[in-house]
């Protein structure tokens, strides 16, 4: 019989072996052997030697931090977060909070080395017997390591592996802990732990937890509050005070245990603990708003959010951009101007009620920079249908959280006007504009692919100009004469008109290509206020198109700033833009806005009422600011038109561009531009655009007809009673539009 050799392994190694074996007898033996550990002279050094433990560097990705949006003045207007966290420094955590946490989680924290042997073995035994992971036996350093691994996990499987109750995971955790203790001081590790730990109720980190639980900063916590938060970190899901009465009772029990432990560790006296135990839990459930629904400017907030999510300038992939927004700890400075936003909100509120089904929407854009200064709507943002809230961005396109928009109506006519002036037309060029217009042939209108899209069988009619008569670029625009613009588009060319609109930045709200039918000039395409305001800003800036700009600077968590400048390009000759301004200025004095009037400074604009009164617009500008206002029913413009409606408490037989949108535009622009030095439009080069060419008016003097507005007949021809282009299954449009 062979003699049995002497086992020279240390007690620590024996315990580890038994635990690793996973047998019930082994676990029991380990539990029996545990009291001898420490008495046998086991040290961190011998344990590391026995298990061949060596420090292994831990990758510590930045913690998810909230992203803050600020207005142009620097005031916070919104915040986004994946985890409600506000990192802080250790010196801004109340000393009693440090005492409470260390007492309950790792009372020898400042005494033991990289590994607390006794605490580690206890944690292993508890994890193996319970089938889960608790934090009580692990050192604070080890807990920090586990939190880092959990936060860095991208999938559910990786997260499960980060907290799995396995021997191999625990050994890796120890290796990482060794490196962390070499890399940082004890205070630095404690600070990191305070910032990464989850306390329950959606609060990550001590600062957010202090605010969430007690409505105060971490520096202001008292004994009772500190004991509560210290007690919550062991199992924050079980003690989450938002879950149930049982969870609140469990948190109260944990709080009292922390108090007793603090007495045991000599941090407080027993009378202090007894007094603290008599107090209620004190959970305040302080809301920590996040997302656009809590912003004072929800529609602009949505625009910014989607701009970051969709723009490759903010990240190469959608996932990267989403992570940056939700976890990046960014401070985003935006273009929104509180005064201008207030002006838009106030004007809309005066004319349209939050309870009305039709919704008014307005955007304000700075010519020459594209900066969005206001985005307002009459209905509140949210998901509560009973409160008539909206859950999408009615002020913007689908790419920025919006819907399908509303047909533009006669606010599209200036694109044809600009194309004509660019072609060499003069102010007094024109032609007879009868009550009805029919395309002379299918080929009279060709889209930009060369397809014949004329519709001789369909007649476009005027709404307020009667027989019309001879109209010029000026009088035809002022009166918004449909038949005049159909003839003008025929002469200039549909494709040239479409190309002009595209140069100025016109896009469909739904992101689809512009519809290129013969009635393009009458505004058949659905669009949004931000887009329309941006196109009109090109005229105001004398031909410079600037992409809408909502973000001017992003500062990351490390203080590194990334600045964003306007993206502008010349799309229109300066003198052509001046000529457009000269004509559109007359809309206030001789045209469809004459009943509403101007704003006391140089301004130009155009009304727009769609076919069948499905929507109404006004778009206008000064050299300082461009703005567009739309009104329509998001339930469906054709099924819910603006005929015989009550809006803002006022009954309307028909809603035109000058009925509601025009007055909103006027009031809001007056208030928005208070304190802004008035600027003048550049004089029109009359040598180039004055008089007429080969299509002059007959010698008979044209009789001026002042267009009517308000509740009378349609104010601008854009509200003509003819139908929109739709397709009948082929390529042939069967119903034209305004």
pLDDT tens sequence across 376-401: 999 999 888 889 999 899 999 999 99
Q: d(Cα 331, Cα 161) in Å, to the nearest integer?
A: 34
Query: What confidence category does residue 626 fall into, taking pLDDT thresholds of 50, 70 and 90?
Result: very high
Q: What is the pLDDT of residue 129?
A: 56
Q: d(Cα 298, Cα 381) in Å, to the nearest integer?
A: 6
Is the pLDDT score of 631 beyond 70? yes
Q: What is the pLDDT of residue 260?
A: 97
Is the pLDDT score of 728 beyond 70? no
- What b/e readout covers 178-201, taking b as 16+ CB neighbours within 10 angstroms? bbbbeeeeeeebbbbbbbbbbbbb
Question: Taking the model in full, what pTM does it have?
Answer: 0.79
Q: Could you tell me what percent of the chain has a pLDDT over 90? A: 66
Residue whose token pair is 């040290």: 43
Query: What confidence category does residue 289 fall into, taking pLDDT thresholds of 50, 70 and 90?
Result: confident
Torsion of CA 650, 653, 656, 660, to 10 degrees: 0
Q: d(Cα 231, Cα 226) in Å, to the nearest integer?
A: 8
Q: What is the pLDDT of residue 49?
A: 52
Return phi, psi of residue 527, to 5°.
Answer: -145, -170
Nearest-10 crossing angle of helices 140-152, 95-105? 90
Return the minimum-mean-pLDDT range out of 111-115, 212-216, 449-453. 111-115
Return phi, psi of residue 215, to 5°.
Answer: 65, 30
Give the strand order in the sheet containing 198-200: 84-85, 203-204, 198-200
Q: What is the pLDDT of residue 84?
A: 86
Is the pLDDT score of 373 beyond 70? yes
Q: d(Cα 441, Cα 426) in Å, to the nearest integer?
A: 26
Cα of 193 vs its chain's centroid, Å: 31
Is the pLDDT score of 20 beyond 90? no
H or E element that contains 110: none
Contact 394/402 with Cβ under 8 angstroms? yes
33 CB-near residues (< 8 Å, 6+ apart): 11, 14, 15, 18
Q: d(Cα 227, Cα 97) in Å, to the nearest integer?
A: 7
Residue whose token pair is 């013969």: 518
User: Would you say how long the chain is, in residues?
Assistant: 738
Q: What is the pLDDT of residue 170?
A: 79
Q: What is the pLDDT of residue 518?
A: 97
Query: What confidence category does residue 13 fall into, taking pLDDT thresholds of 50, 70 and 90?
Result: very low
Q: d(Cα 530, Cα 377) in Å, to the nearest integer?
A: 12
Q: What is the pLDDT of residue 462?
A: 85
Cβ neighbours, 10 Å, residue 449: 8
CA–CA–CA angle 535, 537, 540 (5° rounding): 135
* Nearest of 262, 207, 258 to residue 94 by alpha carbon: 207
DSSP letters of 348-392?
A: HHHHS-TT-SSEEEEEEE-TTT-BEEEEEESSPBSS-GGGT-BSS
Is the pLDDT score of 52 beyond 80? no
Q: What is the pLDDT of residue 700?
A: 57
User: Is 589 strand, coil or helix?
Assistant: coil
Return the minimum-mean-pLDDT range out of 118-122, 466-470, 486-490, 715-719. 715-719
Contact 412/482 with Cβ under 8 angstroms? no
567 CB-near residues (< 8 Å, 6+ apart): 370, 546, 547, 549
Q: What is the pLDDT of residue 424?
A: 96
Instruction: Name which residue leads in pLDDT, 446 or 15.
Output: 446
Q: Which CATH architecture describes the domain 83-277?
A: Orthogonal Bundle (1.10)
Domain ranges for the chain: 11-51, 83-277
Q: How many CA atoms lie within 13 A of 282 on its CB side?
A: 20
Is the pLDDT score of 465 beyond 50? no
- Share the mean pLDDT of the chain: 86
Q: Burial of 46 by CB count in 10 Å (0-12 exposed, 13-18 middle, 19+ buried)?
A: middle
Per DSSP bridges, beta strands 331-334 and 551-555 are antiparallel
Using one digit for the tens of pLDDT, what is the confidence trace for 76-131?
999 988 788 989 999 999 999 999 999 999 999 998 875 666 666 665 555 555 54
Is the pLDDT score of 257 beyond 80? yes
């Amino acid at each position: 019989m062979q003699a049995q050799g002497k086992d020279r392994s240390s007690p620590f190694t024996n315990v580890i072996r038994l635990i690793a074996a996973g047998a019930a007898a082994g676990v029991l033996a380990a539990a029996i052997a545990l009291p001898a550990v420490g008495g046998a002279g086991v040290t961190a050094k011998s344990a590391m030697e026995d298990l061949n433990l060596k420090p292994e560097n831990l990758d510590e990705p930045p913690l998810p931090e909230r992203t803050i949006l600020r207005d142009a003045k620097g005031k916070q207007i919104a915040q986004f977060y994946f985890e409600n966290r506000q990192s802080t420094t250790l010196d801004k955590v109340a000393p009693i909070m440090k005492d409470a946490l260390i007492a309950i989680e790792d009372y020898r924290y400042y005494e033991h080395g990289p590994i607390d042997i006794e605490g580690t073995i206890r944690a292993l035994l508890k994890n193996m017997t319970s089938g889960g992971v608790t934090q009580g036996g692990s050192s604070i350093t080890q807990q920090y390591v586990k939190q880092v691994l959990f936060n860095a996990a991208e999938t559910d499987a990786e997260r499960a592996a980060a907290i799995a109750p396995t021997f191999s995971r625990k050994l890796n955790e120890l290796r990482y802990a060794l490196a962390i203790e070499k890399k940082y001081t004890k205070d630095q590790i404690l600070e990191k732990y305070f910032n990464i730990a989850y306390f329950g109720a959606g609060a990550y980190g001590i600062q957010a937890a202090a605010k969430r639980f007690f409505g105060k900063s971490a520096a202001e916590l008292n004994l009772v509050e500190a004991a509560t938060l210290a007690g919550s970190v062991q199992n924050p899901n079980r003690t989450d005070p938002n879950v149930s009465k049982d969870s609140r009772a469990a948190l109260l029990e944990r709080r009292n245990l922390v108090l007793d432990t603090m007495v045991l560790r000599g941090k407080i006296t027993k009378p202090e603990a007894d007094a603290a135990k008599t107090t209620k839990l004190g959970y305040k459930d302080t809301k920590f708003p996040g997302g656009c629904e809590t912003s004072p400017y929800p529609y602009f907030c949505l625009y910014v959010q989607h701009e970051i999510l969709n723009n490759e300038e903010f990240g190469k992939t959608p996932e990267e951009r989403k992570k940056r927004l939700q976890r990046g700890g960014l401070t985003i400075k935006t273009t929104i101007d509180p005064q201008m936003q207030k002006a838009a909100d106030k004007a809309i509120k005066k004319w349209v009620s939050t309870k009305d089904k039709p919704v008014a929407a307005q955007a304000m854009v700075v010519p020459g920079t594209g900066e969005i200064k206001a985005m307002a709507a009459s209905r509140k943002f949210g998901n509560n249908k009973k409160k008539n809230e909206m859950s999408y961005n009615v002020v913007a396109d689908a790419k920025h959280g919006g819907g399908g928009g509303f047909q533009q109506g006669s606010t599209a006519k200036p694109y044809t006007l600009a194309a004509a002036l660019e072609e060499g037309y003069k102010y007094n060029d024109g032609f007879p504009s009868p009550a009805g217009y029919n395309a002379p042939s299918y080929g009279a209108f060709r889209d930009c692919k060369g397809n014949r899209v004329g519709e001789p069988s369909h007649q476009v009619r005027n709404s307020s100009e009667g027989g019309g008569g001879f109209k010029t670029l000026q009088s035809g625009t002022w009166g918004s004469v449909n038949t005049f613009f159909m003839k003008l588009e025929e002469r200039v060319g549909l494709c040239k008109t479409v190309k002009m609109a595209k140069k100025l930045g016109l896009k469909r709200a739904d992101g689809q290509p512009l519809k290129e039918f013969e009635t393009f000039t009458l505004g058949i395409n659905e669009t949004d206020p931000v887009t329309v305001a941006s196109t009109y800003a090109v005229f105001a800036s004398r031909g410079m198109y600037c992409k809408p700009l909502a973000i001017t600077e992003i500062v990351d968590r490390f203080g590194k700033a990334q600045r964003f400048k306007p993206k502008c390009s010349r799309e229109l000759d300066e003198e052509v833009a001046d000529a457009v301004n000269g004509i559109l200025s007359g809309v206030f004095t001789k045209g469809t806005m004459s009943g509403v009037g101007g704003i006391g400074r140089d301004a130009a604009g155009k009304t727009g009422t769609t076919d069948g009164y499905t929507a109404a617009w006004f778009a206008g500008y000064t050299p300082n600011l461009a703005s567009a206002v739309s009104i329509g029913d998001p339930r469906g413009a054709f099924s819910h038109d603006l005929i015989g409606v009550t809006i803002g408490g006022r009954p309307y037989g028909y809603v035109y561009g000058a009925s509601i949108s025009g007055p909103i535009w006027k009031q809001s622009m007056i208030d928005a531009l208070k304190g802004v030095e008035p600027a003048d439009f550049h004089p029109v080069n009359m040598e180039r655009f004055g008089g007429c060419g080969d299509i002059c008016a007959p010698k008979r003097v044209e009789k001026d007809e002042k267009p009517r507005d308000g509740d009378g007949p349609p104010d601008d021809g854009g509200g003509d009673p003819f139908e929109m282009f739709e397709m009948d299954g082929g390529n042939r449009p069967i119903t034209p539009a305004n």
